Amino acid sequence: MNDSHLDPRINRFREKIVKHDQLEDVLDHVIRLVTSPRPETVAALVGPSGVGKSTIIRAVQRHLCALHAERMERDPGFLPYLSFKATSPLDGNFSWGDFFTRALVKANEALVRKKFIPQMQVELDGSTVNSARGLIPQELRRSFESLIESRDVQVMIIEEASALLRIKKSGIPILQFEVLKSLAVQLRKPILLIGAYDLLGILDGGGQLLRRSDVVHFPRYKLDAGASLMTGAQGQAPQAFVNVLHTFLEAIPIEKEADLIQHADYFLARSVGCVGVLKDWLDRALVSVLSKPGAPVLTRAAIKEAALLNGTVLQLTEEAKAGEARLLQCSDDELARQLGLDSMPALDAPFPPQTTEEKEKPQKRGKSSKVGNRGPSRDAVRTASDPAPSTSA
């Protein structure tokens, strides 16, 4: 999109990127998964909308390009990664044909539009197939697999991956899980899925996919009742969020009303603790102020006017809380109960000490394990008057 018509002050603010305080940890985790993967890895980066997952993706892509820079220069056909978006289906059912087509187009694969069968009838293994439409996705998949192998794609990054789980009928999208599993097994290259909490539907897949899956959570900021930033407030913004808000306010290149930073809890609550939501909110306020005559000033009124509706904030909050609840692990006691144990074994638990009876119990001597070894017995002592032993054969 051409932004040349925009006020340069808007462009300067939109170019500002502020790091989430957990971004480095999440980024390091994702990079470890895609650069040192187990065979057949399917990893998922999940988090609420606007938390900063796109920033993670761009950083991972830059890291992969830097890591493979020498080979990229030596081999123009090599791809350190293939990144594309999965689109929501128009008819309610996810289309693998569209998925593979978009991947091939993203990689500039030649003759993508020629990968179809024009005849109404085709001969296949001696049999006539009257409907060839079902063969098109299979051909596209083979082309996709050939692309990954021939260009040695190191990582497949699928954005908006929640679309993979879109089906008309209610229930678990078993087919999608099976395709993901088979792709991971066939290609033996890591697949990185990016999406909101509904992507956690991957955890409903079969055990074979589940054991190959790694879920990385990118959390939002939350109100902290234990903080002391604003005395008397019921919920306090953590200092990390205060720093983010301060950086964004400083990046807005117009005059601002005083002491906005003192209301960090207001900004956190209405942005659901997501950096992207906060930035979009301030962006709308800036655009609104600059569109009005007179000297531009970012006022409290402009900020309130640009805030999300209460219903939208509530929906985003409920989605975030539901996703966070799904990521909670069951307790050791619950797991032990499900496994039929009194308690879960612990790796750092000491061995139980021996009882007094076990310590005093005499140990039985076993027989020598080697033939010809003498047992521990005392030999007879020969005196001078005893005859010498015979040496004859």
Tell me, yes or no, whether 390 lies in a domain.
no
174, two tokens: 């078993």
Residues 47-63 have a mean pLDDT of 92
For residues 264 and 229, the answer to whether their CB atoms sit within 8 Å is yes
CB 243: neighbour CB atoms within 10 A?
16
Q: What share of the chain is helix, strand, coil (3-state, %, to 5)?
A: 45, 10, 45
Q: Do 174 and 71 lie in a common domain? A: yes
Tell me, yes or no, whether 7 lies in a domain.
no
Q: Do 209 and 262 lie in a common domain? A: no
For residues 237 and 224, the answer to whether their CB atoms sit within 8 Å is yes
Closest CA to 55 of 346, 279, 344, 292: 279
| Strand pairing category for 122-124 and 127-129 | antiparallel
What's the confidence (pLDDT) of residue 233?
A: 44
DSSP class of 116: S
Tell me, yes or no, whether 50 lies in a domain.
yes
Orientation angle between helical segments 135-150 and 96-106, nearest 10 degrees:
30
Q: Do 286 and 144 lie in a common domain? A: no
CATH number at residue 163: 3.40.50.300
What's the confidence (pLDDT) of residue 317?
A: 94
CATH number at residue 280: 1.10.8
Of the two residues 267 and 343, the one the predictor is more confident about is 267
DSSP letters spanning 20-32: -TTHHHHHHHHHH
Contacting residues for 264 by C-beta, under 8 A, at least 6 apart: 229, 230, 237, 241, 242, 245
Residues 195-218 have a mean pLDDT of 75
Instruction: Check pLDDT > 70 for residue 5.
Output: yes
Q: Any alpha helices (H) in 17-68, and if so which ranges?
A: 23-35, 53-67
Instruction: Check pLDDT > 60 for residue 103.
Output: yes
Rounded mean pLDDT of the chain? 80
Dihedral in degrees, nearest 10, Cα atoms 268, 272, 276, 282: -50
**Domain range enclosing 190:** 21-118+129-217
In whole angstroms, how far apart are CA 299 and each of 21, 238, 275, 293, 343?
28, 24, 20, 14, 58
Tell me, yes or no, whether 368 lies in a domain.
no
Contacting residues for 33 by C-beta, under 8 A, at least 6 apart: 41, 43, 190, 192, 214, 216
Angle, vertex CA 298, rays to CA 292 and CA 300, nearest 5: 110
Under the banding of pLDDT at 50, 70 and 90, the label for residue 131 is very low
What's the confidence (pLDDT) of residue 210?
A: 57
Predicted TM-score (pTM) of the model is 0.75
Domain count along the chain: 2
Of the two residues 98 and 121, the one the predictor is more confident about is 98
In whole angstroms, how far apart are CA 372 and each of 63, 205, 367?
67, 62, 11
Dihedral in degrees, nearest 10, Cα atoms 241, 247, 248, 254: 140
What pLDDT digit, counting tens, does each position of 182-205 carry? 888 888 889 999 999 988 877 666
Burial of 33 per CB tally in 10 Å (0-12, 13-18, 19+) = buried
Closest CA to 22 of 238, 226, 185: 238
Least confident segment among 101-105, 261-265, 272-276, 348-352: 348-352
Q: Do 303 and 271 lie in a common domain? A: yes
Q: Do 199 and 267 lie in a common domain? A: no
Q: Do 250 and 151 lie in a common domain? A: no
For tokens 């805030």, the residue is 307
For tokens 């942005």, the residue is 271
Instruction: Check pLDDT > 60 for residue 130.
Output: no
Of 154, 183, 217, the position where a domain reaches its end is 217
What pLDDT digit, counting tens, does each position of 293-306 carry? 888 999 999 999 99
Of the two residues 371 and 149, the one the predictor is more confident about is 149
Least confident segment among 19-28, 90-99, 118-127, 291-300: 118-127
